[in-house]
Structure 1
Amino acid sequence: FQTLSLAGSIFIDLETTGLAGGTGTIPFLVGLGFFDQQGFKIVQFFLNDLASEFKMLEELTALLQDKKFTSVISYNGKGFDLPLLETRFTLNRLRCPLSALPHLDFLFSARYLWKHKFESCRLYHLALAHLGADRAEDIPSEEIPWRYFQYLRTGDFSLVEPILYHNQEDIMSLYGVVVAGALAVGHSLENQEMEIDSLELFGLGKIWEKAGEKKKSAELYEKALSQKLPVELSVKVKKNLALYFKRCGDWEKSLQLWKDLSQNSDDLDAWRELAMYYEHQVRQPETALKLALDGLALSREINPAFEKDFEKRIDRLTKKLNGADRGQGEGEKSGQ
């Protein structure tokens, strides 16, 4: 988002003869959305018959080379659209002009941002949520290959007219949803006041964490916690923050979060981290041993995978304390 220029990007969406991909699947409609002097424009390349594929790809190449786009934006394009298009170019002994461009597959960003906020991250649902785009008259995606093959058999163009509409709506929806995501990320980058709920703040935190911006991510996670998060997400956020503050050396904040987790969740990492803190940071082995014993008891109830860790910790702490007791006793004897 930080380096992406929507004005220089090409939005792409394919309609194909099947959903499996591979050499037997043909993109019969290539929809492109981009900006020109008049605004946002959609151009569609339609394959009237299968024998004309080479010509369609040549025309597509000519437009792409003429416009000199700087990036590609798609929705699941890395997993489907672009590999399929590259296969068709290769089989026709042509070079795909999109392969060298930076590619934002917004499906992944959308999942980070809105996976927990919306029922579905399908493009249709996100467009409805953000844009109010109700596509009640649209055709189901699974119907598209059948309609195209019927068109090839009969020549009845009315069969594919709804596909052209569907493709246009997908491109417009993609553009609108990308803008919604870019605005949210941009506001978080500039620390602007945002009317964003805790779930979207959590999603923005995930975006920045994925980008390696740990400080920005932590700020957003803290904002999300200040609002009401579902219990499961609250635990995840507190763990992320506790580990972040630990790495930063902010033991006070880290300790507060681990204590919160130990008291209000069944997260055994909290007990382990607390035991480690009291053993190694403040040198209180008695407190560390008590925490390890409590952690062991809890692990036997809910997660035996932690048992060995706590048992080793208890054994080490017990030996350490017994050694200290012996040393103290010997010192007292020699003093007598």
Structure 2
Amino acid sequence: MSLKAKLGRLKGHMNLPQEEHPLPVAEQQVIQTEPLEIPFLEKWTENDTHVYKMEDEYCFIREVHYDMDHQHGIYTLHDAKKAVEAWNEVDYSHPLSSKGIQAEEMFFFDTETTGLGGGTGNTIFILGYAFFTDRGVTVRQHILPNPGAEIPLYQSFLEKVNYNTLVTYNGKAFDWPQLKTRHTLIREHVPKLPQYGHFDLYHASRRLWKNDLEKVKLINVEKNILGIERQDDMPGYLAPYIYFDYLERKDPKGLFGIMKHNEIDVLTLITLYTHLSVQLLQKEGSDLSSYEVARWYLGLGEKETAIKAYNKVLEADNAVQRISALHALAFQWKKNREEEKALNAWHKVAEEGILKEQIEACIELAKIYEHSQKNYVKAIQVTQNALSLFPPDQKEKKAAADLKWRLVRLSKKAGHTKE
């Protein structure tokens, strides 16, 4: 039977009800009578893989090594190490900051599973991660040879990993919760799953590039942001089918393609962390996402860093982002009592900004003219301008209603209405 036909026949395994999945681990251990008779062991060995034995059970561990000058996309692995060092030189905070840790302590983690859903019916069969060493970067993968071998799989994993600084792509929502779910099935047999730190690069990528990418999937970020082109890659969605085929035939040939796919994934996490760090640290090579970086820092309360990022946007070529940055800076100038700078900025935003910014700028101008400069005529003018910008179907909304009341109040102050 061809591999394609077997994958089609095995496809149904992905959605089996829970009672049809393999027996609990304890029962499987009884069933396995000769676990160390390893089929196709020579093929495993030829693919950088060795056997991890634990009593009468085993799993596979594969290791490959890269030199620091290895280029993955637009950065080398050495660039990644420099990015971590750069975080240790700044005095501001950020959720992706690696200040206080070294590159060797970071753990770039991804899994391959039999499905995208959660719960005990979904099995992790590859735990893959990359980490820095004194010689370069090592990619290590723990591979489940059969559904009854989860104890050595997780035992070997917990012996090796640095789980205090976990770096994933949407791992908070999938990889680590899934790992914890599987761990509960064997928690009496392996050490307690530890607490961990977590850098989730998905949320950072979405914040910076959601307007540039149709979908912020890792494969899209790779191609469009990081300059990574996969060659002869095994698509991730085939992973469950190929694993089920391996379980039936025991020949790991197809599985090696999924292992290579996972290897690229964890290397990409290093490149992505490097690129995000370049943006967030405002290093040479950072791009127009500086506007989103500035917004992020402002939301975190890091005002000085945010203002620096906004000023960088003012020097860029993107006219829309320049006006948006000017709008944001005007609020800071108002708070700092730099009134003339704020007025000049908001007049420009009122003319050139997007509709929402134009309305907001007119409202802020009205506030300054009314309360600070007592220039009610100008306050009336900019308030009328703001009202004129509202689309017809929004004329009765609260914001527009508030502006109408402002006009009434301003008219009274200016003496334009009879008492």
Equivalent in the alignment of 2:172: 78
Describe the SS at the equivalent of 2:348.
helix
Aligned 8 A contact 1:113 1:207 in 2: no
What does residue range 1-336 of structure 1 map to in structure 2 within 5 Å?
A: 1-3=97-99, 4-64=101-161, 70-93=164-187, 99-116=194-211, 121-128=216-223, 132-186=227-281, 188=282, 194-197=284-287, 199-229=288-318, 231=320, 233-265=321-353, 266=355, 267-299=358-390, 301=392, 303-304=394-395, 305=397, 306-322=399-415
Describe the SS at the equivalent of 1:44.
strand
Equivalent in the alignment of 2:58: none
RMSD value, Cα: 2.6
CA-CA distance at 1:59 after TM superposition: 1.6
The alignment-based identity, stated in percent, is 28
Deviation track 1:159-197 (CA, whole Å, cap 9, x = no partner) reads 2110000001111111122123223434x2xxx6x2444
Do the aligned partners of residues 296 and 260 (structure 1) sit closer, same or farther apart at CA in structure 2, a change above 3 Å counting? same
Aligned 8 A contact 2:110 2:128 in 1: yes
Do the aligned partners of residues 53 and 101 (structure 1) sit closer, same or farther apart at CA in structure 2, a change above 3 Å counting? same
Do the aligned partners of residues 2 and 71 (structure 1) sit closer, same or farther apart at CA in structure 2, a change above 3 Å counting? closer
279-288 vs 290-299, which deviates more? 290-299
Deviation track 1:231-288 (CA, whole Å, cap 9, x = no partner) reads 3x44533332222222232222221221112112332111111111100111112221
Deviation track 1:52-85 (CA, whole Å, cap 9, x = no partner) reads 1122112211223xxx554111111111111111
277-286 vs 117-126, which deviates more? 117-126
Aligned 8 A contact 1:147 1:159 in 2: yes
Equivalent in the alignment of 2:84: none
CA-CA distance at 1:214 after TM superposition: 1.7
Aligned 8 A contact 1:278 1:287 in 2: yes
Describe the SS at the equivalent of 1:29.
strand
Q: Which runs of 5+ in 2 are unaligned?
A: 1-96
CA-CA distance at 1:206 after TM superposition: 3.5
The CA distance in 1 between the partners of 2:339 and 2:227, in whole Å, is: 46
Give 1:310's aligned amino acid: L
Equivalent in the alignment of 1:332: none
Describe the SS at the equivalent of 2:117.
coil
Give 1:92's aligned amino acid: I
When normalised by structure 1's length, the TM-score is 0.84
Aligned 8 A contact 2:166 2:197 in 1: yes
CA-CA distance at 1:47 after TM superposition: 0.8
CA-CA distance at 1:125 after TM superposition: 3.8
Give 2:152's aligned amino acid: K
The CA distance in 2 between the partners of 1:296 and 1:154, in whole Å, is: 72
Do the aligned partners of residues 29 and 286 (structure 1) sit closer, same or farther apart at CA in structure 2, a change above 3 Å counting? same
Do the aligned partners of residues 302 and 264 (structure 1) sit closer, same or farther apart at CA in structure 2, a change above 3 Å counting? farther
Q: Which protein has greater RCO, CA pairs closer than 8 Å, 6+ apart?
A: 2
Do the aligned partners of residues 2 and 245 (structure 1) sit closer, same or farther apart at CA in structure 2, a change above 3 Å counting? farther
Do the aligned partners of residues 87 and 235 (structure 1) sit closer, same or farther apart at CA in structure 2, a change above 3 Å counting? farther
The CA distance in 1 between the partners of 2:210 and 2:388, in whole Å, is: 35
Do the aligned partners of residues 55 and 196 (structure 1) sit closer, same or farther apart at CA in structure 2, a change above 3 Å counting? closer
The CA distance in 2 between the partners of 1:291 and 1:103, in whole Å, is: 48
Aligned residues: 316
The CA distance in 2 between the partners of 1:292 and 1:281, in whole Å, is: 16
Describe the SS at the equivalent of 1:45.
strand
